[in-house]
Amino acid sequence: MTETAIVILAAGKGTRMKSRLPKVLHAIAGQPLLHHVLSTARGLDPQRLVLVLGPDMEDVAAALPDGAPGVDIAIQSERLGTGHALQMAMPALSGFSGDVLVLYGDVPLITAETLRALLAARRSGAALAVLAFEPEDSAAYGRLILGSDRKLERIVERLDADAAAAEIGLCNSGIMAIDGAHLAALLEALGKDNAKGEYYLTDIVAGARARGLDCVHAMASAEEVMGINDRVQLAEAEAALQGRLRCRAMENGATLIDPASIWLSLDTELGEDVTIGPNTVFGPGVRIADGVEIRAFCHLEGATVETGAIIGPYARLRPGAEIGEGARVGNFVEVKKARVEKGAKINHLSYIGDARVGAGANIGAGTITCNYDGFTKSLSDIGAGAFIGSNSALVAPVVIGDGAVVAAGSVITEDVAADAIAVARGKQVERAGAAARRRDKKSGREKKKSEKAKG
């Protein structure tokens, strides 16, 4: 098998994004554009992986996932075109003679299957293979010029295309696979006599043909090679990727009641027989086990939900939420960094943060764990089978023992023993007839005010 090196070009400034954030760090499906490309690249098991960045892109390097082990970073100190960018990667490719696959940090939807097909086309005997596509509107793209034998002769950039070339519908994605044995010589021969005064990587096609080397193309869908240059295209890529993720979820056994209104992250894990209601959003880091029901208008991020649990509607699970088997988290409940154990119920209008809710416990409506004192966050530990009455406040750190009962409306500041009943509220006082006397007094005053105003 021919070895593969992958070079990801990501030095562009992305000025059309109108953002202080580098373009390749803008996210779709909860992950930066560059991370999508890196993930796909790693799926091809390359022997070398090189990332080309600009001189002022330290934040991009710092944001690489897990420190990006095995990634060599090359710096394109002057932005002189794609050919120049690949030249900057050559020191990291020293001694490598296998296939060099060139990808782009702002083209996040390319799939490993399409790239394998491109590599196969290169290995059919050509010196290089270019990934082509046929967009509905080709005005913005370079054109592939084919010979009578259907071999690729050259690529004409959009700004340099004459009328005849502009009529061609076969367009250049920029992605290509190149025989590493020829790459150095082809790059050295590049010039910049063109409309932009840059070193076009696409010119290596004509350079290879001038040396008698064959060049070919492989096809991709327009969606896969969509480049992101502005916020509109970012939204289009998000929509396209969401469509893929929804289909994958349903194919793997999840029911999406209204797929178009459900938003998934790239790393969302959904088990079989999961049902998801409309207008539900999954942020990064969510794992849902088999048989879970997530009702409408829920938001989950960094949470795990075990088999048979029911979430929502209108529930929010924040990072660190662990919902146990068969537990219930109902409407307008927020859970953060808390473990809700098997069969526990938090059915309405509650906040549970930095806490443990024991198996089978019941949390009444309006209950909150007061976990933050302005300086530190502390734990509320609610035992198995405990019952917390409605509108209670548990001031952490506090332990509610197994089977204990907290009376409704209590403010609990001290531990409650197992099987005890805790009442922490003001004593109710009743004054017989006071309501009637108050009404009479009020109505008399109002009558006098009215008479005075008339007089």
CA distance 307 to 119: 42
At the fourth CATH level, the homologous superfamily of domain 4-219 is Spore Coat Polysaccharide Biosynthesis Protein SpsA; Chain A (3.90.550.10)
**What does the alpha-carbon distance between residue 177 and residue 181 come to, in Å, rounded to a whole number?**
12
pLDDT of res. 245: 98
Run means of pLDDT, 10 residues per run, the chain, 455 residues: 93 93 96 96 96 92 81 94 96 95 98 98 96 90 91 87 82 96 96 87 95 97 96 98 98 98 98 98 98 98 98 98 98 98 98 98 98 96 98 98 98 98 93 94 80 74
Distance CA 285, CA 295 (A): 19
CB contact set of 448 (below 8 Å; sequence gap of 6+) = none
d(CA 349, CA 214): 68
**Dist CA 211 CA 127 (whole Å):** 10
Fill in the amino acid letter for 316.
R
Residue 35 amino acid letter: H
Domain range 245-422, CATH class: mainly beta
- How far apart (Å, rounded) are the C-alpha atoms in residues 24 and 35? 8
8 A C-beta contact, residue 107 and residue 226? yes
What residue ranges do the domains of the chain occupy?
A: 4-219, 245-422
209 burial via Cβ count (<10 Å: 0-12, 13-18, 19+): middle
Q: Which residues does 371 contact at the CB level (< 8 Å), separation at least 6?
A: 353, 354, 355, 377, 378, 379, 380, 396
Which of 84, 182, 299, 348 is labelled catalytic?
Answer: 348
pTM greater than the 0.85 cutoff: yes
Q: What 3 state SS string does 335-349 have?
A: EEEEEECCCCEEEEC
What span, in angstroms and rounded, lies between the C-alpha atoms of 17 and 23?
7
Helix (H) or strand (E) holding 99: strand 99-104
Helix, strand, coil percentages (3-state) for the chain, rounded to 5, are 25, 30, 45
The Cα–Cα gap between 38 and 48 comes to: 12
pLDDT at 448: 77
Question: What pLDDT sits at residue 67?
Answer: 66
- Which residues lie closer than 8 Å to 236 by C-beta, 6 or more apart? 226
Best CA proximity match to 284, nearest among 14, 8, 35: 35
Q: Report how many helices (DSSP H) and strands (DSSP E) the chain contains, helices first.
A: 9, 35
Report the C-alpha gap between 262 and 312 in whole angstroms: 14
DSSP E strand boundaries for 396-441: 398-400, 405-406, 411-412, 421-422
pLDDT at residue number 325: 98
Fill in the amino acid letter for 331. N
| Phi, psi of 152, rounded to the nearest 5 degrees | -80, 125
Give the model's pLDDT for residue 1.
67
Spatial distance between the Cα atoms of 138 and 141, rounded to a whole number of angstroms: 6
| Tokens describing residue 74 | 């090359």
Q: Which of 302, 100, 283, 130 is nearest to 206 (CA)?
A: 130
Is 35 one of the annotated active-site residues of the chain? no
